[in-house]
Amino acid sequence: MDTYNLYMDEIPADEGDGDETVDVEFRVVPASGDDADDDNTPVVAGLDLVDLINLRDALSQEIDNYALTALEAEATAAMGQEA
């Protein structure tokens, strides 16, 4: 089974307000075809397909939890304004 390397690339972004921000982009590269140089090292190396699936599921669960918490807070705030 092939393994994969996970990279986090930082891309400078100018949002037009004078403040420079950084966008982050993730990419997954099969280790067998990875010809990365020393300046571009993976954040996580050696993940197999099962690890990638588990990572995806964990991230998805955290995103869902965050969204649900935000919706609950919004609903609570709306109910408080009605009273």
Mean pLDDT per segment of 10 residues, for the chain of length 83 residues? 84 71 84 73 82 92 94 90 72
Structure confidence at residue 23 (pLDDT): 83
Range of the domain at 59: 3-82
Number of Cβ within 10 Å of residue 50's Cβ equals 9
State the Cα–Cα distance between residues 83 and 81, nearest whole angstrom. Answer: 6
What domain count does the chain have?
1
Separation of CA 67 from chain center: 15
For the record, the structure tokens of 53 come out as: 């699936």
